[in-house]
Amino acid sequence: MSGIGLLIPIALLLGLSGLAAFMWSLSTGQFDDLEGAGERILINDDPEVQERR
Amino acid sequence: MTAIVEHSEFSLPGVRCAACIAKIEQGLAHVPGVRSARVNLTAKRIAIDHDAGLDVPALRSALDALGFAAEPVIAQSGDLAHRRESRQLLKGLGVAGFASMNIMLLSVSVWSGADGATRQLFHWLSAMIAMPTVAYAGQPFFRSAWSALRHGRTNMDVPISIGVLLATALSLFETITGGAHAYFDGAVSLIFFLLAGRYLDSAMRDRARDGAGALMRAMAPGGMVLLPDGRAEWRSAEDIAPGMALLVSAGERFAADGRVEEGSSAIDRSLISGESRPEPVDAGSAVIAGSLNLTGPVTVRVTATGRDTTIAGMARLMEAAGQGRSRYVRIADRAARYYAPAVHTLAAASFVGWMIAGAGWHASLLIAVAVLIVTCPCALGLAVPVAQVVASGALMRRGLLVKDGSALERLAEADRVCFDKTGTLTLGRPEVVSIEALNPAECSAALALARASNHPLSRSLARTLAENGSRAADAKDIREIAGKGVEGHVGGRLARLGRPEWVGTAAAADDMLCCAFLIDGGAPRLLRFADRLRPDAEEAVARIARLGMEPVILSGDRREAVAAIAGQVHAPAMVGMTPDQKVETINRLTRAGHHVLMVGDGLNDGPALAAGHVSIAPSSASDVGQNAADIVFLGDSLLPVPIAVVAARRTMRIVRQNFALAIGYNILAVPLALLGMVTPLIAAIAMSTSSIIVVANALRLARCTR
């Protein structure tokens, strides 16, 4: 019983933090451009390296 | 200077990949005054934060300089409201998903034998998770059910709301009195599955709305107004009034209807007439808002603005034609109309029946709730959107964008096809057909001149020459003479490319698109252009005919121009039609009981596209055409049209199967519920199994375009 008393709050807290993370990412617009997010990893965002080439 | 940060959005149809994003964002970072720029690849838009000193035309030309045509987007309040609705559904989905997972875990422990104080604790925990979840995530259903009831109607959301609320209330009662069963898991996972369907549906409609307002975008958002004191100032379209003088440079769209006062140019009216040939204008000629000024700057005296312009009249015609389609009842709504009353009756009957049998109000109510939950339309709610989302995903991989889920339902019903000619059966852009008239030296000289001009014929010639491996000659003093052509010195000799009379030769037949080229000392060369048939057009029309749909060509062009095309694709043609006549023809077919698929581009087809039961436009179509159409296909080939028809018919077959599966599964569980044998376990299994089967069945559509 003491195991349950410890584990259930932990499980719920973990779930809630996941939910909070989802809400946060939704409200900061991270789901607005799913295609773009996938493409952006290909961008070389170090301008110096690009110029040297 | 105190810089106020302003926000502007542009639509960028040309953005395709990571390289484009990087080029635009890094390029704009170097523009002074730009605070930040972010490209949205999904919506093909860019949001720019910039100083107030930087205006819309400046940003636009900066984007142009980077190689991307941009149109300013005026944010529409309706657009935003719908996007907020989708986001609200997604939030609810997240909450319901979290809650149903946790409650299900607790419930499984109860089913597998948790007893006494543990069961009590678990039930209380479930209640604490479920109550806020129902209150938050259930809102879309409660609101819709309430508004239906207030107007004396009923819809699918009424049994859902009653079921969820009754189940939650009863479970709370059970929990307080220490009963054996609680239905929290059922109530919450019901909301979860239904929200999933609702969200998919709303995401589909959002995509449809992205194109909305394109007509207003086709009209320039504003223009340079010549003030009485001689200065020129940029004014947005709504601030332009009749009587003002408008300075329109080459490559800009007219912001209002008017009459040319000064200067001469060629304008591209393809947006309005569908005609790809540029039309020369000079002092006195009338110009129409939305058409593109091609070659030279002109001053225009404004005659009509806003809702009085020709293009706005076309928009009203389109709206009127679209009315018929908005009366179309989606298949899910039609099903709901029969399903909801049946479910109510069944639940009420079981309550009354058990009361009469003497089971007591508590047990009777419990059984009635079980019936409501088991017959829950969550699989039914998923049946249509899942199938449509999977099918439109498959179509997207084949280059077809489905803007509205109901488009597939309507396309499956279509039994007639009307094609526009210019830009639909043909490519809608002039292609040079007599390039062999030029020798290599002339080719490179012509390329040098053609590259210098924005005229459609020059652009086409430059593209063809470059494809044939010509290298541009070294040309000096290149200048473009508005309405005539381009001239320059190549190797010390004067070379001219432009209208045949100006170059010094006679045009062949006056209906041919042609231009002439001459190097001093050589013979004048006549270059002919023609609007070629789309690749696979014959095959596509033949396939459509094999699918049992009768094709017909509706063209605004003259008989001679259409006859050749009609012969090639083996379809009858109606010629010389105005936009109104096209709409009338479609309406006549509709009255005769046919469902018409309209395939067209251009603003002149807009009303016809809206009048058709369903419509398809090529991506080369004007914004207006794309906006009016339900489906847009990419690329030159016409084959996507029959592919879309086949996919739509398969989708409808799957949707019907899904309905059968969902209802069939519920029918199996209903007798058990009526007999009072449905435990929470059975309700949960029945509900999720039917939903999963429906989703799995819809996934077969991933290959529907083969």
Say which CATH number the domain at B246 has.
2.70.150.10
Number of domains into which chain B is organized: 5
Cα–Cα distance, B218 to B202 (Å, whole number): 27
- Give residue B118's domain range: 80-213
Quick one: how far is CA B359 from the chain centroid?
56
Query: Strand B292-293 and strand B265-268: pairing?
Result: antiparallel
Cα–Cα distance, B85 to B203 (Å, whole number): 10
**Both B157 and B229 in a single domain?**
no
Task: Say yes or no: B326 contacts chain A, CB-CB below 8 A.
Answer: no
Give domain status of residue B683, yes or no.
no
Q: Residue B435: which CATH number?
A: 3.40.1110.10
Give domain status of residue A32, yes or no.
yes
Give domain status of residue A35, yes or no.
yes
- Are the beta carbons of B286 and B307 closer than 8 angstroms? no
Closest CA to B557 of B314, B279, B266, B276: B276
- Are the beta carbons of B583 and B320 closer than 8 angstroms? no
- ipTM surpasses 0.90: no
A4, A43, A48: best to mutate for the B interface, most B CBs within 10 A: A43
Closest CA to B210 of B49, B44, B91, B335: B44
Cα–Cα distance, B600 to B418 (Å, whole number): 8
Element spanning A20, H or E: helix A2-27
Q: Which residues of A touch B43 (CB under 8 A)?
A: 32-33
Q: What is the per-residue pLDDT for B92?
A: 93
Class of residue B657 by CB neighbours under 10 A (exposed 0-12, middle 13-18, buried 19+)? middle
**Which among B22, B40, B91 is the nearest to A26, CB-wise?**
B91
What is the chain B residue with the closest CA to A23?
B91
Cα–Cα distance, B300 to B287 (Å, whole number): 8
Give domain status of residue B479, yes or no.
yes
**Both B267 and B253 in a single domain?**
yes
Task: Say yes or no: B698 contacts chain A, CB-CB below 8 A.
Answer: no
How close A40 comes to chain B (CA, Å)?
6
Task: Say yes or no: B125 contacts chain A, CB-CB below 8 A.
Answer: yes
How close B94 comes to chain A (CA, Å)?
7
B41, B122, B207, B397: best to mutate for the A interface, most A CBs within 10 A: B41
Q: Which residues of B touch A12 (CB under 8 A)?
A: 102, 125, 129
What is the chain B residue with the closest CA to A40?
B18
Q: Residue B541: which CATH number?
A: 3.40.50.1000
**B495 beta partners:** B488, B519
Instruction: Say if the Cβ atoms of B17 and A39 lie within 8 Å.
Output: yes
What does the DSSP assignment read for B472-537? Answer: ---EEEEEEETTTEEEEEETTEEEEEE-HHHHTS--SSTTSEEEEEEETTS--EEEEEEEEEPTTH
**Which among A4, A19, A47 is the nearest to B94, CB-wise?**
A19
Report the SS3 class of residue B233. strand
B91, B136, B210: best to mutate for the A interface, most A CBs within 10 A: B91
How close B72 comes to chain A (CA, Å)?
19
Token match 């898991």: residue?
B185
Give domain status of residue A48, yes or no.
no
Give domain status of residue B322, yes or no.
no
**Which among A4, A16, A40 is the nearest to B21, CB-wise?**
A40
**Both B41 and B116 in a single domain?**
no
Query: Strand B5-11 and strand B71-73: pairing?
Result: antiparallel
Residues of B marked as catalytic:
420
**Both B458 and B584 in a single domain?**
no
Report the SS3 class of residue B247. strand
Task: Say yes or no: A47 contacts chain B, CB-CB below 8 A.
Answer: yes
**Both B198 and B93 in a single domain?**
yes
Number of domains into which chain A is organized: 1
Q: Which residues of B touch A17 (CB under 8 A)?
A: none
What does the DSSP assignment read for B556-614? Answer: SS-HHHHHHHHHHHT--EE-S--HHHHHHHHHHHHHTT--EEEE--TGGGHHHHHHSSE
Give domain status of residue B323, yes or no.
no
**Both B497 and B552 in a single domain?**
no
**Both B516 and B541 in a single domain?**
no
- Are the beta carbons of B347 and B165 closer than 8 angstroms? no
Closest CA to B330 of B417, B206, B201, B203: B201
**Both B93 and B157 in a single domain?**
yes
- Are the beta carbons of B605 and B274 closer than 8 angstroms? yes
**Both B125 and B266 in a single domain?**
no
Task: Say yes or no: A28 contacts chain B, CB-CB below 8 A.
Answer: no
Give domain status of residue A12, yes or no.
yes
**Both B633 and B574 in a single domain?**
yes
Q: Which residues of chain B have pLDDT under 50?
A: 1-2, 211-216
Query: What is the C-alpha radius of gyration for chain A, rounded to an integer number of angstroms?
Result: 20
Give domain status of residue B492, yes or no.
yes
Can you give the pTM of this predicted structure?
0.71
Give domain status of residue B514, yes or no.
yes
Give domain status of residue B519, yes or no.
yes
Task: Say yes or no: A7 contacts chain B, CB-CB below 8 A.
Answer: no
| For residue A47, pLDDT beyond 60 | no
| The token pair that represents B6 in the structure block | 């302003």
Cα–Cα distance, B10 to B647 (Å, whole number): 33
- Give residue A22's domain range: 3-42
Quick one: how far is CA B136 from the chain centroid?
31
Instruction: Say if the Cβ atoms of A15 and B125 lie within 8 Å.
Output: no
Residue where a domain terminates, one of B650, B666, B698: B650
**Both B463 and B403 in a single domain?**
no
Instruction: Say if the Cβ atoms of A31 and B90 lie within 8 Å.
Output: yes
What percentage of chain B carries pLDDT values higher than 70?
Answer: 88
**Which among B18, B101, B125 is the nearest to A42, CB-wise?**
B18
Instruction: Say if the Cβ atoms of B102 and A15 lie within 8 Å.
Output: yes
Give domain status of residue A47, yes or no.
no
Q: Which residues of B touch A40 (CB under 8 A)?
A: 18, 21
Tens of pLDDT, residue by residue over B512-522, are 567 788 887 77
| Amino acid (1-letter code) at residue B256 | A
**Both B97 and B206 in a single domain?**
yes
Task: Say yes or no: B91 contacts chain A, CB-CB below 8 A.
Answer: yes
Give domain status of residue B371, yes or no.
no
How close B106 comes to chain A (CA, Å)?
9
| The token pair that represents B387 in the structure block | 């199938």
Q: What is the per-residue pLDDT for B665?
A: 81
Phi, psi of B616, deg, nearest 5: -130, 140
Q: Which residues of A touch B91 (CB under 8 A)?
A: 23, 26
